[in-house]
Amino acid sequence: MTKRILVGSLVGGIVLFLWGCTAWLFLPTYTNFNDVLDEEAVVRTLKESLPDKGIYYFPKHPDQSPNSIAEWNRKVSVGPTGILVYNPQGHGPLGIKKFGAALLTQWAAVLIAAFLLSQTLAGKPSFKSRWAFGFLIGCVISLTAYLPDWIWYGYPSGFIFNLIRDMVLGWAAVGFILAFFIKTHQEERKEMRIEEKVKSEIRTKLHVD
């Protein structure tokens, strides 16, 4: 079983990684980012106003005084609002290091899912149920990772929808892979009997020939 978990999670991690690359390169996920008008002027202002790396949000969070909270609520209601991930020194080009790190994290996630799935086999889940396990993980991740940004920070609905779509479809594929590799003990024994039968027939045929 350990071998099946390791192999299945590795295959699933690779598929999830490749699907993520495909989604961002060829599907309208990345195109939801708008270009900054007069980028040079904006960058110059950012360098003057934001000297340190970090995540910045505006309008500025209020203190606990009633007037400050009321003013903040007004600004949030009428806008503009924004959240900015700022790296004054950049964060390096795309390359083997980043792709490798991304692949490793995907494999780790699928490995955890594969281990959890293996713990459910005592209930003798069907192939469809094992596939649904992976699919539902994608739904859980989407609900907890993406929707809060839409609720609290006002991320564009289209962008969030695309992220959820890509996550759910990716884990639907992972669920199929895990369902194929991680089987119940009854299915494993059946496969072993079939494998032994095929080997026996091959040996018999070779001996006759």
How high is the pLDDT of residue 208? 56
In sequence order, what E strands does 79-120 have? Answer: 82-86
- pTM here is 0.76
Contact 117, 9 (CB under 8 A): no
Q: Which residues of 36-57 are buried (b: 16+ CB within 10 A; e: fewer)?
A: eeeeeeeeeeeeeeeeeeeeee
How high is the pLDDT of residue 168? 92
Give me the phi and psi of 174, to 5 degrees please. Answer: -60, -40
- Report the chain's terminal Cα–Cα distance, integer Å: 37
Contact 175, 134 (CB under 8 A): yes
Q: Which residues of the chain have pLDDT under 50?
A: none
How high is the pLDDT of residue 171? 93
Q: How many residues make up the chain in this entry?
A: 209
